[in-house]
Each structure stands twice: as structure tokens, then as C-alpha cells.
Amino acid sequence: MDKRPGFWFYFLLITFIFIVLFPFIWVFLASIKPPTELYGDYAFQLFADHPTLENYIAAFTKHPFLRFIWNSFVVASLTTLYSIIIASFAAYAIARLKFRGKTLFLGILLAVSMFPQIATISPIFLFMQATGLRNTYLGLIIPYTTFAMPLSIWYLTTFFQKIPLELEEAAKIDGASIWQTFTKVLIPLVVPGLFTTAIIVFITAWHEFFFALTINTKQSMMTVPVGIAMFQGEFTFPWGEITAATIVVTIPIVLLVLIFQKRIVSGLTSGAVKE
């Protein structure tokens, strides 16, 4: 019996992919339209009559866009590195230590990451102002850990729990210290989980808007989401430049996922099949 997918399967699959990708396609098509074709009768025209790269050039020449990209890259990278390092130790301890209320603790940890930012911005802003950390990279990295760290610990705890305890006991018998066991035995086994968690944290930090808008108000310290939001003038709204900038900042994320897609899939499916 032929079990290959039929016509309707591929039709529905292509339709679903098109629906998902359509907003990105529309933004890209808008980014190559001249200003005269972004409004009026041309607004809903799919393809540009006179495609141009002027919007991309304007995004870099009229605004310090490269600086915005660099700020986002530094903040997102340092947030990811810091969160992954600390979370790996915390997750290992949670996975291996036996104490009462472990499940409750993990639940509270996850709930903290879901806490609305508007409820925490006031004390965080006052702290950053009192310590002189406003308009600095550290002034964003610290608030970002409020959502990056709980997520990292939650994800990595699951991966450490899937590693058989016998591996640690075998390493201990061979004379390995706790540090050697952790770095040479356990960390290589949770690499897929580390990659998956790191990419999730990086993307979340890369797209964060509210903390960046409130804490870093100096233009030279703005991140990409805030910088793009500031493209608009008092009487103008340059949709062409905004869409071009959106495409540019999306490319690194897409490349990141494509480069590490095997490790991401490996991390997401790790332990899905019981051996």
C-alpha cells in the first residue's frame, strides 16, 4: 500500500508555509519600494514597479544603524554567555541535589520569567539610576537576566536530569573530581541543550524592547528595536526605511538558526525517545 503523502498534504503544507511567511515576504517587498509606491493606490500592490535599494541605504546613512546593531549584539551576546554559565551550575545542582520543594521551586522560577516587565521596571530603573548604570551595556544585561536566567535554568535542568547518574559514579571511581566530572563528562553531553538554550536567550535579548527603551535613552546606546522605533520623525513615518532595517536585523537571526539548526533540533528532541 502506497503511504506516500498525497496532493492535499502538499497543498495544505505549502498553504501553511505561505501564510506563515507572508508577513516577512510583504515586509521585504515593501523594503524595495520607493516612497512613492508605499502610499495611496500603490500601497497594496504586491510588487514594485521601480524596485530600489534606497531604503536600505537610507537606513544606514540617515541613522546610526550600525551602532544599534552593535549594541544589540553586545548586550544579547553577554546576556547569553552570562546566563548560560550561571544557569549550567544552578541547573546541575537542582537536577542532582535532593531537597524538599524542588518542583515548587522550578515552578516559581518559571513564573518569575513570566512576570510582566511593567511591574518591575520602576525598581529596576531606580536601581540603574542610583548606580549610574543607565546608558551602559551592563544597565541592560542585568535586567535581561531577570527573564534569561530563569528560562536558562528551567531548560538546562531538564537536560541534566536526562543524564544517567551512573556516568558520574563511573567518573568518580576513575578518580575524577566534581569539577572534572562536570566539565569533561556532563557538559559535552548537554551541548545540544546549551546551544538550544543559548539561541533562545539570544533571540529573546535581541528583540527585547521595553527595558531598552526605558533604561538606555541615549541614541548611541540604543539597541536595534528601540533604534528602529526612533526612525520616525515629528511629521514623517519612513515605512521604507523601517522595513529595510527590519529585514537587515532579521538576517543574523535566520543565519544563526540555519547554522546551528542540527544542534537546535538535537537539543529540542533530546530525550524524546526513551531508550
Three-class secondary structure of residue 154 per DSSP: helix
Indicate yes or no: pTM above 0.85.
no
Closest CA to 106 of 159, 145, 165, 158: 158
Q: Cβ atoms within 10 A of the Cβ of 52, count?
A: 15
CA distance 186 to 93: 12
CA distance 221 to 185: 41
Q: pLDDT tens track of the chain, all 275 residues? A: 556 777 788 889 899 988 988 888 888 988 888 888 887 777 777 787 888 889 899 889 988 999 999 999 999 999 999 999 999 998 888 888 887 877 788 788 778 777 788 888 888 999 999 999 999 999 999 999 988 888 888 888 888 888 888 888 888 888 888 888 888 888 888 888 888 889 889 988 998 999 999 999 898 999 999 999 888 766 678 888 899 999 999 888 888 777 777 666 665 555 444 44
Three-class secondary structure of residue 162 per DSSP: coil
C-alpha distance across the termini of the chain, in Å? 30
